[in-house]
């Protein structure tokens, strides 16, 4: 047998274009970059071990008859005796004997093994033979695996695997929510709109089952029900398509306030319950800041009751008082009078100082460092590149920067409006406030853009779930009025790369829809 070389394990588009295929599951990076659906990979074992029964039967059927020598008398007598015995047996049973041809055997084999065969199906054509088939996992399992291993590991849902034994294949709200988010995330990964349709079908089922669980006093207080509510919000974030998605996310988030109150103090007795509470609390505060509404007093009272159970060494928990004040400040901006602008400006200055102090007081294991000039970096901004100890540390620092960028843009805008009203008090230098806000904004912009190289790489394997955490800070930089022009171009370029490599629809509109910066500030 001639050795034809080692068979390629790459997908068909990569084999056809002679490209290097990374063979990632469920689709390779090359197909993702081309915005096509990866057809999958061949199993090398199928080229070494095959079921050649059908091929052998086909060859036997079509081979030319060989020239046979006359048989010996003894062999002929044996053949005649066997034929007479078969005839006598057929006559005694009353059943006609029909000899099966090799072609009929092949047809029976095809019909027996074909998964789509039925009584009404048409028989295979003469040239149709079974060669080999590929064993593949169900798409549901592939979607769940990708979601739990790649997507969840880098998100605030890192606690979700603890609920997996009860939520992967069950018929409950959390199972349906996981499947909806899994299909949605996999659809973005491999650019398959059919999977997104399945995701929306699962989302409708999850929404119905979640409402049923919330109507049950027993099921409403379970951890899986709260996780289902959070996963429904995650689905809206994954499939973000405009204001409707954001409104749905706000509804899921604000609806969890009453659910947290219903769960009572028992939710703080387990580590999983505390993580679910903290995750929900962060979403509630973010939703209030977005919707320009104060944080509900009933939630603040519940959060005060949870203080003895929380880890106060967590830097994220130390940001919560600032977020409460930012939400209150945004609610005032919507109905601000000219006489109140100075008071709001002073409040913004105090909040900016408090937020900057949080960054100064963070422990050493949360601090970022600058790469050396001679050290190779995947991406730099003005020759600067920062390194972070973890993705969570990057999220923390970008959260502080987003808050400060909002506040400094507010300071600059309110100072401009006060100056436009006419002569001001000589004791307050609003021009100096504007200049200080511009300088702080330039520093914050450099820090954000110099951090993009950690997760926005220039290699072929550029689809990274972790890069999604850069959408919000980059969008804020692109939209704020006092952003330097070169920084805005750099941010827009990064957002464009995220849109192409991450299949994120309209990333620029995220900032407009989520915060409405120019209209609200």
| Domains along the chain with CATH numbers | 1-53 (4.10.240), 138-310 (no CATH), 319-521 (no CATH)
Interval 256-269 mean pLDDT: 89
Average pLDDT over the chain, rounded to an integer = 77
Which residues are registered as beta bridge partners of 387?
369
Burial letters 334-354, b for 16+ CB under 10 A, else e:
eeeeeeebbebbebbbebbee
- For the residues 231-245, what does the mean pLDDT come to? 74
pLDDT digits (tens, 9 = 90+) for 411-448: 999 999 888 887 767 678 889 999 999 999 999 999 99
Question: Is the dihedral angle over the CA atoms 300, 515, 410, 319 positive or is it negative?
Answer: positive
In this model, does residue 490 exceed pLDDT 50?
Answer: yes
pLDDT digits (tens, 9 = 90+) for 384-402: 889 899 888 999 999 999 9
C-alpha 449/C-alpha 438 separation (Å) is 16
Strand, helix or coil at 424? Answer: coil
CB–CB of 465/498 below 8 Å?
Answer: no
Task: Evaluate if residue 29 carries a pLDDT over 90.
Answer: no
What is d(CA 229, CA 466) in angstroms, rounded to the nearest whole number? 22
Residue 421: the pLDDT is 83
* Residue 70 pLDDT class (50, 70, 90 cuts): low
> Taking the model in full, what pTM does it have?
0.69
């Amino acid at each position: 047998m001639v050795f034809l070389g080692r068979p390629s394990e790459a997908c068909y588009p990569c084999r056809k274009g002679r490209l290097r295929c990374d063979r990632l599951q469920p689709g390779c990076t090359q197909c993702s970059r081309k915005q096509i659906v990866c057809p999958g990979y061949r199993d090398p074992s199928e080229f070494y071990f095959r079921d050649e029964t059908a091929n052998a039967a086909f060859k036997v059927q079509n081979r030319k008859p060989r020239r046979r020598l006359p048989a010996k008398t003894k062999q002929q007598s044996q053949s005649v005796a066997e034929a007479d015995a078969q005839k006598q047996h057929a006559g005694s049973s009353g059943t006609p004997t029909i000899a099966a041809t090799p072609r009929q055997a092949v047809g029976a084999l095809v019909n027996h093994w074909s998964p789509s065969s039925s009584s009404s199906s048409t028989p295979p054509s003469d040239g149709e033979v079974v060669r080999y088939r590929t064993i593949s996992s169900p798409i549901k399992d592939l979607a769940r695996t990708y979601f739990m291993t790649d997507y969840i590991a880098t998100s605030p849902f890192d606690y979700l695997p603890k609920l997996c034994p009860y939520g992967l294949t069950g018929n409950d709200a959390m199972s349906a929510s996981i499947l909806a988010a899994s299909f949605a995330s996999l659809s973005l990964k491999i650019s398959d709109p059919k999977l997104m349709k399945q995701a929306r079908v699962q989302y409708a089922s999850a929404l119905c089952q979640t409402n049923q669980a919330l109507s049950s006093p027993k099921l409403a207080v379970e951890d899986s029900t709260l996780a289902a509510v959070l996963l429904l919000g995650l689905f809206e974030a994954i499939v973000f398509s405009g204001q409707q998605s954001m409104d749905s996310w706000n509804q899921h988030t604000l609806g969890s306030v009453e659910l947290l109150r219903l769960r009572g103090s028992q939710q703080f007795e387990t580590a999983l319950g505390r993580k679910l509470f903290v995750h929900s609390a962060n979403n509630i505060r973010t939703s209030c800041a977005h919707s320009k509404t104060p944080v509900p007093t009933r939630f603040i009272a519940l959060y005060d009751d949870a203080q003895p159970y929380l880890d106060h060494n967590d830097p994220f928990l130390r940001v919560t008082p600032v977020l409460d004040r930012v939400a209150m400040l945004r609610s005032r901006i919507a109905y601000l009078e000219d006489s109140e602008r100075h008071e709001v400006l002073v409040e913004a200055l105090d909040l900016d100082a408090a937020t900057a102090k949080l960054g100064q007081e963070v422990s050493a294991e949360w601090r970022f460092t600058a790469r050396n000039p001679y050290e190779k970096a995947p991406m730099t901004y003005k020759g600067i590149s920062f390194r972070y100890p973890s993705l969570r540390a990057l999220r923390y620092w970008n959260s502080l920067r987003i808050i400060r960028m909002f506040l400094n843009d507010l300071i600059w805008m309110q100072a401009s409006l006060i100056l436009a009203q006419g002569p001001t008090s000589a004791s307050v230098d609003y021009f100096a406030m504007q200049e200080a806000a511009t300088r702080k904004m330039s520093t914050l912009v450099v820090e954000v853009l110099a951090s993009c190289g950690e997760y926005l790489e220039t290699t072929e394997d550029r689809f990274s779930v972790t890069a999604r955490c850069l959408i919000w800070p980059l969008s804020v930089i692109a939209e704020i009025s006092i952003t330097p022009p070169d920084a805005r171009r750099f941010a827009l370029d990064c957002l464009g790369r995220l849109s192409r490599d991450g299949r994120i629809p309209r990333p620029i509109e995220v900032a407009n829809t989520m915060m409405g910066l120019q209209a609200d500030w």
